[in-house]
Amino acid sequence: MKHVIFHIDVNSAFLSWEAVYRIHHLGSRTDLRNEVSAVGGDMSKRHGIILAKSIPAKKYRIQTGESIVEAKQKCPHLKLVPPNYELYDRCSKAFMEILRQYSPDVEQYSIDEAFVDMTGTRRLWGEPVDAANHIREQIRDELGFTVNVGISENKLLAKMASDFLKPDRVHTLWREEIPYKMWPLPVSDLFFVGKATARKLTGSGIKTIGDLAHSDPAFLRSLLKKHGEVIWGFANGMDVSPVQTAAPDNKGYGNSTTIAFDIVDASTARLVLLGLAETVSARLRAANVRVEVIAVGIRFFDLRYVSHQMTLGNATNITAELHHYACVLFDELWDGTPIRHLGIHTSRIKDGWDMRQMNLFDTTDYEKLEKMDAAVDSIRRRFGKDSVMRAAFLGSRVDHLSGGISREKRTVDYSRVEIE
């Protein structure tokens, strides 16, 4: 039986979700999707980048990930709206719930896209294109936003197909369609080909995906090592990865934050690291895992980045322990240069059993620390994340739960936003 895989991608997700919410819940008379608009962070807090843009904004060459300053230089009248991740999370869940009505095999690839294995569903939903249009129309009618659906026999080709002409379209890319639908595209359009790889390929005369598909794999390996063979396979439509309904286990846990001001003293930096240790360790405990490796990363005011890691004597998920070792790494790493961004990252994941090697000279009561963390987690789950705060954060500009999605991005006070 021929495999049938859908890749379903929300068109301009954050902007679409914001537009739909404003129209249907706030009475907006204008649709952000039809204006030169974008969702962007707060420049005053140094989160000033474009998170999503409208299709009309594309003609000004505004790109996701660029700074708001750069975007405004390209288009001074660009309309910016603040991000609202709580809204986006609700929209994403509603989107996934509809997809699961059509198949039990749904792999959420990101907040706004998913793969769906539709193999063997013809008797339920008809031919693949008909089923895809049914899904597309249901999402548009029930949730108010549009999606693109790519159809093929594997995930790679389905994803490539969904990136064809937008918005609100269904495209197929069966293996027999590769020569005239995919090969003429620029090599930079191929999944897994970044800017640096594209430069190397075009510099070697490989300008289209077709050029790449017909290149000598040995030459590509000499140019790009193992990555060259991988993208050669992709250019020829090869992909054997299955749709994974269950998310794979995390290989690492981490969090980082861009601080609204430059940090110039170690005590403030250690406070930020404590906030990061709080959020990272809470995630570890929620997943019932411990970590053996911890790393600290620093981005300075001039955007230089340095990092340092160490292997712990015992795997842990205790907040105080993670913070202690993060501070040890920080002290070894920091040279006094003003800091813009700090991060804690962990790896070498172990299960939640405490197999601590005893040390006669270590008098720390780890059992007491674990019970304290468990109590704090329980209180925060029941009464909210801000219900318990360490005294060190009182009166400080540092968030006691640092990292991840910053507070100003989690929700929006629409009473302070002009809705047109």
Cα dihedral 263, 268, 269, 274 in deg (nearest 10): -150
> First-to-last CA distance in the chain?
52
Q: How is residue 155 written in tokens? A: 């995930």
Nearest 5°: phi and psi at 256?
Answer: -150, 165
Q: Given 18, 66, 107, 113, which residue is catalytic?
A: 113
Task: Give the C-alpha separation, 234 to 240, whole Å.
Answer: 10
137 classed as catalytic:
no
* Sign of the dihedral through C-alpha 322, 328, 332, 337: positive
Q: Which long-range contacts (CB under 8 A, 24 or more apart) does 375-380 make?
A: 377/282, 377/285, 377/286, 380/282
Cβ neighbours of residue 123 under 8 Å, at least 6 residues apart? none
- Helices and strands counted in the chain (H then E): 15, 12
Contact of 162 with 9, CB cutoff 8 Å: yes
User: Contact at 8 Å (CB) between 87 and 17?
Assistant: yes
- Residue 200 carries which side chain, given as an amino acid letter? K
Q: Are 293 and 310 in contact (CB under 8 A)?
A: yes
| Whether 215 contacts 201, CB under 8 Å | no
Dist CA 304 CA 319 (whole Å): 28
Count the Cβ atoms, other than its own, within 10 Å of residue 224. Answer: 19
Looking only at the bridges linking them, the beta strands covering 289-300 and 339-351 are antiparallel
Q: How many CB atoms lie within 10 A of CB 201?
A: 26
Greatest C-alpha distance within the chain: 71
Query: What is the Cα Rg of the chain in Å?
Result: 24
Active site residues: 113
